[in-house]
Structure 1
Amino acid sequence: MIRRQFAALLLLFTLVVPYAAFGQQPQPPAEDPMITKIKDEGMNRSQVMQTLSYLTDVIGERLTASPNAKRANEWTRDTMTKWGLQNAHLEAWGPFGRGWTLKHFSAQVVAPQDLPLIAYPKAWSPSVKVMSEMPSMPAAKGKKPAAAAAAPQPSSTVTADVVFLDAKTEADLDKYNGTLKGKIVLVSQPVEVKALFEAQGRRQDEKSLLALANALPPGQGGGFGGAGGGGGRGAGGQQMTPQQRQQQLFEQAVFTAKRWNMLVDEGAAVVVDVSPRGTGGTIFVQSATVAPAIPKSVEEMRTITRLSPYDPKAESKMVPQITVSVEQYNRMIRMIQQGEKLKMTVDLAVEYQDQDNMGYNTVAEIPGTDLKDEIVMLGGHMDSWHSGTGATDNGAGVAVAMEAVRILQTLGIKPRRTIRVALWTGEEEGLLGSRAYVKAHFGSVEGGPGQFGGGGGGLGGGSNANATPAKLTTLPEYEKFSGYFNLDNGTGKIRGIYLQGNRALRDLFTQWLMPFRDMGASTITISNTGGTDHQSFDGIGLPGFQFIQDEIEYDTRTHHSNQDVFDRIQADDMKQAATIMAAFIYQTAMRDEKLPRKPAPGR
């Protein structure tokens, strides 16, 4: 009897307790009414696409220090002033170097048959310069002899024989000595084109987001800034030692330097290479190459000074340079290999701007109240490459940051901390605008391993075992800074955020993302990510963050390509990103404490 009663009680307990436990589960906190308003304004009355269209369609490409970049600086300043932001202004940084504008360009094969080319010049490439004589007119019968021919006039159009510089070693270069003057020279090896069996666009899936969520902390083999890879493999497939790898890199550097110096010294008319990736008319193109000094040792290879193409002194060490689509470039190579004698006509005229060698960032604020001396920042870089209009890289980030502050301003937010939006230039050349801003306002790190971010590095190149210890120098605003939020991974929606190794923020950011789980944003990763302006802050120990985003077509089609245009933008993703950015800025501005920090380098 006792056993039967006990069994009955046990059965009742097992049936009731799960329901009781379920009823006691903690419920998500009620959504902050202001977050609800931010979501409503951001998703239902967005202006993000109008902002982006003006920036990309009307202003267009925004190469650092170009007239278009300055126009974008001024337009963003004036637009945010109209929205009611205060202290909107341009902050100079630099000196940077010369601006560059493409005036006109065309390229085509003209013999043995006509073939218009999908091609684009490299940024800061010089113009084609050939001297053309104006023929004298014959004297009419019974008239005085005609005047002599006019003095030669510079022309930006050249028609010349095409040469394939088929060299892979220093010895290969010797057979081209004395053959390149006035020629149009193809310098790339042909590139295999494969069928695209997978979609060019993709979103983060459950597997990729789970991998991010489960990543190891930086320095423990996970995320950007973790353990380095192996030393590579030699020609025989055997693993190379670090010394062998260094020697291989040295030999490649010597060959590359000698090839470029040969092209400049012999006077090649135009250098043509192939788009390193992209097919079907997509061209990825960046800066022109400056003929470098030839290193004499591995150590000199590491320390040798290289001129940037935007340095005025570099023009004499460059030749006109263009990039051609892979399918057409490959065809030209095959024609030459089968004995055809090609001629090309290239018209390339550019204009350098040397009047103002400074770069500019656009800065504007929503003033704070009781904690107005403390700062919350957001932004993205406004400069772009030149073959597209810089829509996904990074007009999208600029438009999202501007839309975030528009949302907050429209809602009449009275933030406790001052909200400061910064739109950078010089990012594509090495985070130059944001690094200069951080140094001028917050501080800098000297020495150390020279890594971006990752909790311990300064701002610079790769690690160096012999580097001096890191030394952090701070300015008064350093202690008043709360956090910086950046968007610079294309048009894709926000899926979460990188903690940059700052584990103290996991719970807080998880809570801030809860209202956006139904929008697909919930992943927190301890990992670092690189290549964006948040590193300028993270590198000196300030909280700086980049959001996790969907890839869409960023690496496959738009990043630094001629397809980086407004039509590749996903409007709903942009609205979602701006809404989440606004919410994170609001939360950071309103909380009692500044965001917690990880240990700063050099302290």
Structure 2
Amino acid sequence: MKKILSLGLVILCSNLLIIAQDTSPVIKSIINEANENSQLENLAHELMDGIGPRLVGTPQMKNAHDWAVNKYKSWGIDAENEEWGEWRGWERGITHIDMVYPRVQSLKGTQLAWNPSTKGKGVTAELVVLPMVKDSMEFAKWLPSVKGKLVMISMLQPTGRPDYNWKEFATEESFSKMKENREKQTKEWNDNMKLTGYGRRTLAPALEEAGAAGIVASYWSRGFGVNKIFAAYTKKIPTVDLELEDYGMLYRLVESGKKPKINIVAESKEHGTVPTFNTIAQIKGTEKPNEYVILSAHFDSWDGGTGATDNGTGTLVMMEAMRILKKFYPNPKRTILVGHWGSEEQGLNGSRAFVEDHPEIVEGVQALFNQDNGTGRVVRMSGGGFLNAYDYLSKWLYAVPKEITSEIETTFPGTPARGGSDYASFQAAGAPAFSLSSLNWSYWNYTWHTNRDTYDKIIFDDVNNNVILTAILAYMASEDTEKTSRKKAILPISNRTGKQLEWPEPRSPERKGGLDDQ
């Protein structure tokens, strides 16, 4: 039976619990330290401003791993970088994009990840847009015309204003008209893409093979000035993402017959094959050292911004919680381990490798707490499909201050994750792992994988709340006299397939990433 409860109701229903949070000196100390001596802003500055984005395979990713190890050791916590695979070594350099005809204007955009460097003065060429075609044969006949041209492969957006801005200021008729026109245009664009015979991943390589000088895209994230920044699919020619405003201007110039030209200088370095790591730190348990409370957050990011909310904030929560626990709970009953996973963004690779390489730790997991969806305070927790999760999670949450738990909605028994973030790697192996899901703060449109995911988007009050929550949960899980149950609930019928859901199977990581693209 599914239970959806606010923590207020959980607390009211917990009259049999005898835990008194106001008598626990450890919990009092956790709360006081977090509120009076927070290190979050300094840690955020060092990680986001100093080290920057943490794309797997880059020197910045390795710098971040080394920084975390040194930081933990400065707090008296054992830590190491554990190698689990190899990746294509690559380093971003300077990107300059300038319109040089019919007038001169510097443009806002960036080279996509793992794209080769341009040479000399870069690439200067005329822009063309994808044609409307009847079928793939017509597109194949058009392909040779891209030789020596820069090809624009994204749809011209009809507006750069997000919907909430339209809703606030436009008439109802105007807003409806815009949405209808955009839906029609989007459908026509998607239908035309299907007619070309190519998809998002295959189009750019086909254009490269046909002799294009480069690829120009714009992956708008439906917010003011914000684009999602991912990886390039070309091996020799530049691929850049332009912000909507500049992309739209160039597209309209092409359509009006002005034949605009731009110059792209995109400097990057190849570093061959480099090792990939997870950073692991632990406070050894005194009574049950082979049972584990795991604090979990992925360390890597995409590199359009500095990875502040995906997943810099989750990283900060776990580091600060560990610092506080070491200071006020230095001899836990169970081992408290923190995992800063590499290459989550390419498929949970670091955590999957850890699960595969350390079955003895997975077997000993008392609980895992993962945070990975933005800077907001935690507002949702699920039992993850573990039948008896309510029994222990509600007990642990009862010890957390009401001002933190009052807005947390819990769902029991819930269902296991099939991806999304690193707790899914542990759930698939049967370990009780739980996501600390946070308030939105416009995460999906403004900071998730975007060029605006930067330090200034962090809400430190919310992050500090999450530190208190995480540290108390870790303390309570460590102190619990009982080992947590791993009994799985009977999963519901899938609305999509009409069949009963099955527990996800563990998946092996990609241990040699991007090496085929070199």
TM-score of the pair, normalised by structure 1: 0.70
- Partner-residue secondary structure (3-state), 1:354: strand
Query: 1:62: which partner in 2?
Result: 54
Which of 197, 204, 210 is residue 266 of structure 1 equivalent to?
210
1:109/1:254 CA distance change after superposition, 3 Å: closer
| CA–CA separation in structure 2 for the residues paired with 1:40 and 1:127 | 50
| CA–CA separation in structure 1 for the residues paired with 2:16 and 2:471 | 27
1:70/1:199 CA distance change after superposition, 3 Å: farther
Answer yes or no: is 1:566 the counterpart of 2:484.
no
After TM superposition, list the pairs within 5 Å mapping 1:270-309 onto structure 2: 270-290=214-234
| CA–CA separation in structure 1 for the residues paired with 2:93 and 2:362 | 44
Query: 2:422: which partner in 1?
Result: 533
Question: Displacement of 1:166 after TM fit?
Answer: 2.4
8 A Cα contact 1:509 1:524, kept in partner: no
Question: Displacement of 1:81 after TM fit?
Answer: 0.7
Which of 373, 393, 396 is residue 310 of structure 2 equivalent to?
393
Query: 1:490: which partner in 2?
Result: 374
Question: Displacement of 1:194 after TM fit?
Answer: 5.7
Query: 2:402: which partner in 1?
Result: 517
| CA–CA separation in structure 1 for the residues paired with 2:446 and 2:335 | 38
Question: Displacement of 1:113 after TM fit?
Answer: 1.2
8 A Cα contact 2:363 2:431, kept in partner: no
Which of 323, 330, 334 is residue 406 of structure 1 equivalent to?
323
Identity value in percent:
31
Which of 61, 84, 88 is residue 76 of structure 2 equivalent to?
84
8 A Cα contact 1:156 1:349, kept in partner: no
Question: Displacement of 1:319 after TM fit?
Answer: 2.9
Query: 1:106: which partner in 2?
Result: 96
Q: Deviations over 1:341-399 (max 9, x none)?
A: 1111111111011152x210111110111111211111201111112111001011111
| CA–CA separation in structure 2 for the residues paired with 1:386 and 1:196 | 23
1:590/1:284 CA distance change after superposition, 3 Å: same
After TM superposition, list the pairs within 5 Å mapping 1:54-453 onto structure 2: 54-86=46-78, 88-95=79-86, 97-129=87-119, 155-167=120-132, 169-193=135-159, 195-196=161-162, 198=164, 254=198, 259-290=203-234, 315=235, 319-356=237-274, 358-442=275-359
The AA in structure 2 aligned to 1:432 is N
8 A Cα contact 1:494 1:548, kept in partner: yes
The AA in structure 2 aligned to 1:267 is G
The AA in structure 2 aligned to 1:320 is P
8 A Cα contact 1:186 1:271, kept in partner: yes
8 A Cα contact 1:166 1:189, kept in partner: no
8 A Cα contact 2:132 2:192, kept in partner: no
Question: Displacement of 1:199 after TM fit?
Answer: 7.5
- Partner-residue secondary structure (3-state), 1:94: strand
| CA–CA separation in structure 2 for the residues paired with 1:487 and 1:72 | 18
Query: 2:34: which partner in 1?
Result: 42
8 A Cα contact 1:424 1:433, kept in partner: yes
Q: Deviations over 1:197-249 (max 9, x none)?
A: 6389xxxxxxxxxxxxxxxxxxxxxxxxxxxxxxxxxx9x9xxxxxxxxx999
The AA in structure 1 aligned to 2:83 is A
Query: 1:477: which partner in 2?
Result: 361
TM-score of the pair, normalised by structure 2: 0.81
| CA–CA separation in structure 1 for the residues paired with 2:193 and 2:254 | 30
Unaligned runs of 5+ in 2: 1-11, 167-184, 489-502, 507-518
| CA–CA separation in structure 2 for the residues paired with 1:481 and 1:546 | 15
Structure whose CA Rg is larger: 1
8 A Cα contact 2:160 2:245, kept in partner: no
Question: Displacement of 1:192 after TM fit?
Answer: 2.8
Q: What RMSD, in angstroms, separates the aligned Cα atoms of the two structures?
A: 2.8
8 A Cα contact 1:166 1:172, kept in partner: no
| CA–CA separation in structure 2 for the residues paired with 1:45 and 1:513 | 23
1:478/1:560 CA distance change after superposition, 3 Å: closer
Q: Deviations over 1:267-318 (max 9, x none)?
A: 212100112324432221111125xxxxxxxxxxxxxxxxxxxxxxxx3xx5
- Aligned pair count reads 450
Q: Deviations over 1:97-147 (max 9, x none)?
A: 212212211102111112321111110111224xxxxxxxxxxxxxxxxxx
| CA–CA separation in structure 1 for the residues paired with 2:321 and 2:64 | 18
The AA in structure 2 aligned to 1:104 is I
Question: Displacement of 1:512 after TM fit?
Answer: 2.3
Question: Displacement of 1:156 after TM fit?
Answer: 5.0
8 A Cα contact 1:485 1:546, kept in partner: yes
| CA–CA separation in structure 2 for the residues paired with 1:117 and 1:482 | 52
The AA in structure 2 aligned to 1:286 is F
Query: 1:585: which partner in 2?
Result: 474
| CA–CA separation in structure 1 for the residues paired with 2:194 and 2:369 | 39
The AA in structure 1 aligned to 2:211 is G
1:508/1:162 CA distance change after superposition, 3 Å: same
8 A Cα contact 1:273 1:323, kept in partner: yes
Unaligned runs of 5+ in 1: 1-21, 130-154, 201-234, 238-246, 291-314, 443-475
| CA–CA separation in structure 1 for the residues paired with 2:239 and 2:504 | 41
- Partner-residue secondary structure (3-state), 1:178: helix
| CA–CA separation in structure 2 for the residues paired with 1:278 and 1:107 | 22
1:180/1:601 CA distance change after superposition, 3 Å: closer
Question: Displacement of 1:478 after TM fit?
Answer: 3.8
8 A Cα contact 1:100 1:124, kept in partner: yes
Q: Deviations over 1:513-543 (max 9, x none)?
A: 2333312443212344541110110111111
| CA–CA separation in structure 2 for the residues paired with 1:262 and 1:412 | 58
